[in-house]
Amino acid sequence: MQLVLEKRAERSNTIALISPLIAIGLTLVTMSILFAILGKNPISALGVYFIDPLTDSYSLQEIAVKATPLVMIAIGLSLCYLANAWNIGAEGQFLVGAVAGSWLAVKTQGTDAGPWVLPAMMLLAAIGGALYALIPAICKVRFGASEILTSLMLVYVADLLLDYLVRGPWRDPKGFNFPTTAEFDPVAAVPALIEGGRLHLGGVIALVVVAAVAVLLGKTIKGFEIRVVGAAPRAARFGGFNSNQLILLTFAISGALAGLAGIIEVAGPVGHLQPGISPGYGFTAIIVAFLGRLNPVGILIAGLFLALTFIGGEQAQIAMKIPLDVTKVFQGILLFYVLACDSLILYRFKLVFASPKVSSGAH
């Protein structure tokens, strides 16, 4: 007897729509059981995770701040993935963008440069990220090198470049040798939206990006080409779409967005360039892109939801002394259920009984 996955003849659109909700529901049930085993009241634990962060403006701001880089990177990645180009190196593009933008901040430090500094930093970051993303893309279209490997490996190169700069040439001369640049000047900092709050201009930029990409995908020919090249490469070839050009384009856009996210993070919440500016945003964004089903609005929601689990997890550590590991388990379970539910929309389980080949009268 065997258990196999069998493709469904037709897929239900209703189920496809509510499948993420089913996944979240199953996650909540599983987590409740886990909380109960840990000796915590499941209802209050889930309340701390999901409801409390939504009840005050402080936590809502924090969710937005956390979601900003995730959404921006994931939006770019979704374009790549839709076009069947596998950019795994957004983390590196994020770092290179941060470095490229910070260059200007460091160079203009202490001078009375005007308010043009921040926009110029953002432009540099986007260009830096795009150029860095084009390396694996060009290797792919020119030499056929696997972009998955090359883009991933370039993450470590970017990491070491950043490390070198903040330990060497860009180190804060008054910083006792600690590996960080001096705090950026106010003209080089991303302004806060609310006085004294942490919500910053980056959140607005992320929303603009979501809207722009939604229009690109839904209303333009380029967007149509991207989707066709990914979904039906043969049809795209017959249609005369240049898939190599699209690989370069999607990589460049995704690198630019990751780079922009990088400088916004550095010039915003962090305030200076240092190692460890990204707790793995470039990789978490891959999860966000797929949780959001490669759809701009879906990605926005997925990014906010994942940010909610981070903030809620932290509040659970404080309020209920629930260990950090539980938050990680929680995120893992959520991803598992989302993928499982998605698979079961397209496939179903079937028990296959071994055919009665073993004859009974052999001896």
Nearer residue to another protein within complex by CB, 234 or 321: 321
**Strand locations in the chain, DSSP E?**
2-7, 347-352
Residue of the chain from 321, 349, 355, 357 that contacts another protein (CB under 8 A): 321
Q: Report helix, strand or coil for 322.
A: coil
Say which residues have a Cβ less than 8 Å from residue 41's Cβ, sequence separation at least 6: 35
Among the listed ranges 1-9, 24-32, 133-141, 353-361, the one in contact with another protein (CB under 8 A) is 24-32
Binding flag, residue 282, another protein (CB under 8 A): no
Site for another protein in 240-279 (CB under 8 A): 265, 269-272, 274, 276-279
Residue of the chain from 198, 222, 227, 293 that contacts another protein (CB under 8 A): 198
Residue 330 CA, chain-centre distance (Å), reads: 18
Residue 141 gets which letter from DSSP? I
| Closest by Cα among 94, 97, 98 to 71 | 94
Residue of the chain from 123, 163, 185, 242 that contacts another protein (CB under 8 A): 163
Nearer residue to another protein within complex by CB, 181 or 295: 181
Give me the half-sphere count of Cα atoms (radius 13 Å) on the Cβ side of residue 75. Answer: 30
Label residue 342 exposed, middle or buried (CB < 10 Å: 0-12, 13-18, 19+).
middle
Residue 176 Cβ, how far from another protein at the closest point, in Å?
A: 5
**Contact present, 106 and 181 (Cβ < 8 Å):** yes
- DSSP string over 263-276: HHHIIIII-S--TT
Nearer residue to another protein within complex by CB, 231 or 324: 324
Residue 180 Cβ, how far from another protein at the closest point, in Å?
A: 8
- What is the identity of the amino acid at 229? V
Site for another protein in 48-67 (CB under 8 A): 48, 50-52, 55, 58, 62, 65-66
Among the listed ranges 38-46, 104-112, 147-155, 234-242, the one in contact with another protein (CB under 8 A) is 38-46
Residue 268 Cβ, how far from another protein at the closest point, in Å?
A: 8
Residue 52 gets which letter from DSSP? G
Among the listed ranges 73-81, 176-184, 249-257, 295-303, the one in contact with another protein (CB under 8 A) is 176-184
Pairing, β 347-352 against β 2-7: antiparallel
Residue 294 gets which letter from DSSP? T
Binding flag, residue 179, another protein (CB under 8 A): yes
Residues of this chain that bind another protein (CB under 8 A)? 21-22, 24-26, 28-29, 32, 43-44, 46-48, 50-52, 55, 58, 62, 65-66, 163, 167-168, 171, 176-179, 183, 196, 198, 265, 269-272, 274, 276-279, 311, 314-315, 317-319, 321, 323-324
